[in-house]
Amino acid sequence: MKLLKYELLNLVSNVITLIFGFAFPIGMVLLFSFAFASEVENVTELHTTLFFQFALTIPLAVLLIGHCVNYAGELESGAIMRLKLFGKSERTMLATKLLANLIFLTVSLAIYTIIVVLALDITAPSVGALFTFIIFFYLFSTIVFMLGHALATLVGQTGKAMGIAMAVYFTMMILGGLMGVAPDILPNGVRHIAMGIPLYYISVYFADFWFGGSMNWLPFILSTVGFAMFAVGLFILVLWLKKKGKIKGEPKPIYYD
């Protein structure tokens, strides 16, 4: 319980997490809602689409940037090593970090939803769409957590982790159509890369399902599975390399006679 409290305090004291996990999604939804309102016929549909699109930027920000940078800092400072000396296993620490991040994400999503629903005209989803979105939100969050953890373990330094995490974050935002560029107007080569990311299908096809229509599930499921396999594969590979001493881990403890 103390370890979980420690991880939660780490999250709420992380300025990067608070900015990109709280302020940025809300700000972008409101900005795009007002910026594009005059260019669409159905403003409610625009607001609703932006709502569920930018909801998925919360796990990207909290886990890909926040957790990646925070964990790299813990490795660099020796905090992970000290926790191990106090008897905390790496598996326990990993599970606690995931649980703490999922709790934080749930609170973030709730606050985001309340503010956006009060500020904009959002259409309630169908039961199936709501159920699907919640499942995907937490599945996607878990996948991104493993990706962020792998990247942090691989570089082991705060500065490098920040640079890589930010690059991956904005690349996924652009390819997923979350930066004001519709993914279906991307160049063919880039669009084919984007189709390997599940955010692409959320941006292009999920709105119809949200409003009670249908959706082509096969490419969405395949992209999710493919993205998960990549993240899990990298996660396992990095942990194996660390165990074999092929990459730099946390500093070794110093013993005094």
Please report the DSSP string for 44-103 in residue order: HHHHHHHHHHHHTHHHIIIIIIIIHHHHHHHHHHTHHHHHHHTT--HHHHHHHHHHHHHH
- Residue 231 above 50 pLDDT? yes
d(CA 97, CA 227): 21
Residue 62 has pLDDT above 60, yes or no: yes
Residue 141: per-residue pLDDT = 95
253 has pLDDT over 70: no
The mean pLDDT value of the chain amounts to 86
pLDDT tens-digit readout, 132-162:
999 999 999 999 999 999 999 998 888 899 9
In this prediction, residue 180 has a pLDDT band, given cuts at 50, 70 and 90, of low
* pLDDT, average across residues 125-130: 89
Stated pTM of the model: 0.89
Does the pLDDT at position 182 exceed 80?
no
Those residues with Cβ within 8 angstroms of residue 160's Cβ, 6 or more apart along the chain or in another chain: 72
> How far from 45 is each of 26, 33, 96, 192, CA to CA, in Å?
17, 10, 38, 26
CA 168 vs. chain centroid, Å, equals 11
For residue 51, with 0-12 CB atoms within 10 Å meaning exposed, 13-18 middle and 19 or more buried, which class applies? buried
Query: CB count, 10 Å around CB of 59?
Result: 27
